[in-house]
Chains A and B, each alone.
Chain A
Amino acid sequence: QSVLTQPPSVSAAPGQKVTISCSGSSSNIGNNYVSWYQQLPGTAPKLLIFDNNERPSGIPDRFSGSKSGTSATLGITGLQTGDEADYYCATWDSSLSVRWVFGGGTRLTVL
């Protein structure tokens, strides 16, 4: 059971838009930056979004992030088959045991 809750899977057709939600609490998302990671099959994760809504250099603007209260959302527009991957949200949790927490991951299928 992950501290951050993500849908196990989402799917959409090429060219369409998809959103992936990440739900937490005041001890994590509510008071800390959220980052998102893309993990293509068989590869290491890659930073996609940091500080809730910032993109590292090289990440296309098809990817966006937002945060409201204790939830965050990753948006992907103009879906491509190459976007098929697992997506994880993460943030620092400052509850009893300070630590990083990840969402359980969302498998994106581009139909």
Chain B
Amino acid sequence: QVQLVESGGGVVQPGRSLRLSCAASGFTFSNYGMHWVRQAPGKGLEWVAGLWFDGSKKYYADSVKGRFTISRDNFKNTLYVQMNSLRAEDTAVYYCARDQSGVVRNFDHWGQGTLVIVSS
């Protein structure tokens, strides 16, 4: 069955960097678009970034553009997000999610999430 397992979360100071990973299994990873979606404590869902099955096209929310970089390694079946210049408002649970088709269809499978806390 489809499994997505995020890792790399933790406590980080404002202005520092962090890289999250999402290990995928149970499906042909290289055939699917992937996304990062986050949820601040007690708040709703916010899409962060997405990329095509081959990584050729990437899309970002305005709130993270220029600071976050989404990438993937189709040989390692792993999705990444490099988060730089972190701010307190980036504190959230970060979920990786598979797109049913391309990057504009839906989020048909989700990981369990990894918590990022940006605090001094």
Contacts and interface: CB of A to CB of B under 8 A. Distances in A.
A99 B35 CA distance: 11
Interface residues of B, number: 23
Contacts of A86: 44
Given A44-B95, A97-B62, A102 B108 contact: no
Given A37-B45, A50-B105, A104-B44, A44 B113 contact: yes
A33 B105 contact: yes
Contacts, number: 61
Interface string A38-52: 010000111100110
The majority secondary structure among interface residues of chain B is strand
Contact of A100 (B47, B100, B108): B47
A51 B113 CA distance: 25
Q: How large is the interface on A (under 10, 10 to 19, 20 to 34, 35 or more residues)?
A: 20 to 34
A82 interface: no
A99 B59 contact: yes
Interface of B: 35, 37, 44-47, 50, 59-62, 95, 100, 104-113
